[in-house]
Amino acid sequence: MSAEVEKCGQPKPCPPEPSAVSRLAFSIRETAQMLGVCEKSVRRLIARGLLKTSRALRHHRVTKQEIERFLKDTT
């Protein structure tokens, strides 16, 4: 079984499942999908301080507001 692979070497993620509840925060993978980049690029943005995350539950979560702020500031 061969999975499609993006340029950054990561397997292509599955499309997000629709949900009845509006989400307030997203994983690095989901953030990458929304921004149209690979996960490694999102991690670089976090490391450079261009994208802020929350680590309340041990894993990085990027808020919807932070994604919107980042897009507004960089366009």
Question: At which residue do the structure tokens 């499609």 appear?
Answer: 4
Q: Name residue 54's beta-bridge partners.
A: 61
Selection from 1-5, 16-20, 64-68 with the highest mean pLDDT:
64-68
Q: Shortest CA distance to 16 belongs to which of 32, 38, 40, 5? A: 32
- Tens digit of each residue's pLDDT (9 = 90 or more) over 13-40: 666 666 556 889 999 999 999 999 999 9
Residue type, 28: I
Q: Where are the domains of the chain?
A: 25-74
Average pLDDT on 45-70 reads 93
Could you give the CA distance from residue 29 to residue 40 in angstroms, rounded to a whole number?
9
